[in-house]
Amino acid sequence: MIIYTYKMDLFYLIAFLYGSASFIADLIADSAIFVNYKLLSEIVFTVLTLYFISYDKYISFFISAVYSIGGLVSYLFAPHIVDALVWKISIYLSIPVFLYHLFNYKNLLKDLSNENLKAFFFFVVPAIIGLMLLALFEDYLVPEEYGTKKLIDKMLQTVMVMVLLYVTNFTSYIKENYLKGSPESLMMLNSFLLGWFGYVSFSSIFYYTF
């Protein structure tokens, strides 16, 4: 149990750092700031992407699906969101992994309980779709890269994701009605939320400082 808890804590910490690294890499790609660290940021982000798509079959499927489907949607409706090299690399790395899991779906499903499947399809998937649509909507409402509106937007997102993390992990209603007996689904959702938290919290600090 101690080893499992330590492993989970480390995984969640890396998920937060992954989100933070994605903001830094995105910032360097879109601006003339910290250009000397551009290659380093791309390498770190790529290594972390490889870490998640090879972590285990459930996280691998989840992350590769987010990048593959999210990348396709972004290419169609907001291509500037994924025009940075780091996003293209992550999408291209994820597509073959995602296709592999689709063709081997029986191996993916064989160890999952009915509770896990229900939690994934009826809670995690709708939550992720909603959050990704929110990101597209936010990009439409606040297209500028800098300024007060951008700062307020990122601060609001930071507060929102903190609330979502609390509700998901510390309220009995959600745990008992949507995520009971579903550790894999909870892990997938938490990894996404913590990555998002890392991105928006670091961006809030940056926009406030600069």
Interval 30-42: pLDDT, tens? 777 888 888 898 8
Task: Give the model confidence (pLDDT) of 60-106 as tens digits.
Answer: 999 999 999 988 888 888 787 788 888 898 999 999 999 999 998 88
Both structure tokens of 22: 């994605």
Distance (Å, whole) CA 41 – CA 27: 10
Rounded CA separation 182/189 (Å): 11
Residues whose CB is less than 8 angstroms from the CB of residue 81 and which lie 6 or more positions away in sequence, other chains included: 74, 87, 135, 136, 139
Tally of structural domains, the chain: 1
Token readout for 71 is 């990348």
Q: Are 184 and 117 in contact (CB under 8 A)?
A: no
More confident residue, 10 or 4: 10
List the helix and strand counts (H, then E) for the chain: 10, 0
CA separation for the pair 175, 168 (Å, rounded): 7
pLDDT given at position 198: 95
| Closest among 158, 157, 156, 167 to 189, alpha carbons compared | 167
Q: What residue numbers bound the domain in which 89 lies?
A: 2-209
SS (H, E, C) 105-130: HHHHHCCCCHHHHHHHHHHHHHHHHH
Mean local confidence (pLDDT), 129-136:
83
The CA distance from 146 to 136, in Å, is 17
Is this model's pTM higher than 0.85 or not? yes
Instruction: Compute the distance between CA of residue 106 and CA of residue 116 in angstroms, rounded to an integer.
Output: 15
In this predicted structure, the answer to whether residue 2 has a pLDDT above a threshold of 60 is no
Name the phi and psi angles at 31, rounded to 5. Answer: -145, 180
Angle in degrees, 0-180, between the axes of helices 2-30 and 38-53, rounded to the nearest 10: 140
Q: Evaluate whether 30 touches 89 at the Cβ level (below 8 Å).
A: no
